[in-house]
Structure 1
Amino acid sequence: MSKEGETNNLVKSEANVPAISNPGQELSEVDHGQKVSGVLAQIFSAAGELSGPNTPASALVPWVSDVLQSDHSFRAYGHDLADFVEHMKRLGVSPLAVTADHVRLYKGAMLKAGLRPTTVARRLSVLRGAYRQFAEKGLVPWKVAQDLSTVKAPQVAKNTTPSLTREQAVALLEAVPTDTLQGLRDLAILQTFFITGCRVSAVINACVGHLEFDGVEHFLHVTEKRNKRARKILLDAARPVLRYVQEAGLGEDLEGPLFRPLSPDGLGFERRPMNRKTPWRLVKKYCRMAGISPDRLGGRGIGVHSLRKTAITDAIR
């Protein structure tokens, strides 16, 4: 069991936070606020007596709807918030009666349960933001929000993501077979991560129609964190991406996902976005095939973040 897995009551199962949308998909603009409102209301319903138009849930909806645009980000936020509300419920403390000392006790409980410092720091950040919103809406005194901001997060090691050397990056890409559709797709997506430095969600949510050629260079239009749109030059990733699109017969399906999962028969691709966990599995798979250990004792292993951190500017193939 991983260190995150033995935290028992401190970590809630996915069943305790309502499903927001299909995995890997962005929340639609139309129902985003409504879904945010419903999920937050369910989280705070654990506190029991909180009702009426001016509630912790309603206080957070505008800010959360504006800042957390993706399903993945909102789901993580919801789990962190739900865990804290449930922990306070077991202590008999209402969310609006929380003090800095309660948060310090919660921090200690998380560390004792074995949560990583990065996880504890993230959850404390969630609470600081939530209670600032409560203070702005008049639900708690500003002094409470200010006191909560003094709770120190555990020290987190900086820049823990391992990068690859250029030689390792070349070996990883050369381990990908290019005589199958799956291999062509895998090479294309790995090169895209290397060249663009994009997040997983930005790449797997890109459509075929987001590819652009200006007569000189090829680009991929992506939507990054906080719904920021970016135009990423593909450079040497253009060749494998275009070959994959051509061989897979995706060129006319402009509104369809660019990177797709294989069909059950392995002869083509399903018309849906790739699961966000697939790129991570691909990195580890081809690392092992290239003789590179993707795991690292006591730290983060090699994954998509490593590709984003590794700069490749020369032609690979």
Structure 2
Amino acid sequence: MSEQLPDVQASRPDVTVGLNRVGVTGVEKLVKLDREDRRPIVLMAEFEVYVDLPSWRKGIDMSRNMEVVDEILEEALGRRQVRVEDLCGDVAERLLEKHDYTSRAEVQMEAEYVVREDTPESGRPTQFSADILASATADPDGTHEEIGAHVVGMTVCPCSQGMSESRARDVLRDLDVEQGVVEEFLDRVPQPGHSQRGHATLKLRTDGSPEVDLVDVIEVARDSMSARIYNMAKRPDEDHMTYHSHANAKFVEDCVRSMAEGVVERFTELDDDVVVTMEQSNDESIHQHNAHAERVAELGMLREELNGGNGDSIGRTNGHAG
């Protein structure tokens, strides 16, 4: 009988420094989410799985991370109405059970989610894809789950549009158009501004109750920009997107604030301590740089600010995002 192999991971390291996150990344798994009276959602998901490591231990049991992911996913296939954030939470909690030397486990999942929809004017069937962002952290105090989405849209710069409007006003006056007609025309026909592709990310971190509808998250993120975009578009649809985006010009900062407003209006049933992460990045069309804005805050603080409360507390609310 061969001698038992030594457990090298459990030995003491040469440098006794603890680590916050040790684990595996790029774990690809097929995830099936059953829904009541509807076709199941099948996702090709990529997972990242981590635990913390104390200073006195050389390494984690890496194979256990993979074993837990496989176990939970197989169990999920036998259940109905599974939410991806619950899936991450189950894996995180099981990791704590499997690794008795850890105090914190973290699981992240990303997958592409396809939404069926119709084009805005021609009514043609098409599809829109969003990136699902789900995660969970588990520690002795409990489990926190996060669900979110990253979507793409269109924005128009109000600054350049304002300059175009000023130019149009001057030309119309030179053509002796009456002032009232000039203002009515400019009010009804939005002037050009440089447009860009926008990237909106919205995430909500909760304790798992009440449930957050992923579709609602996607809708709020898409509506935060100047206009939605569509994979397939006929001429009337292109005209619709161009007109509505220029009629709703927004800076990158405006998009984040619109996202905050949408979260407060849509998620009225959520508790004040839900942590909301909102990010907007624009691929600038006339600059070599891009624009970015973000906000992390508890939902209660956003409600207070939008109801006329003090908005000068960003540093305090950001402290809850860890």
Give the structure with the higher percent strand: 2
Q: TM-score, normalised by structure 2?
A: 0.26
Give the structure with the higher percent helix: 1
**Bigger radius of gyration among the two:** 2
Q: TM-score, normalised by structure 1?
A: 0.26
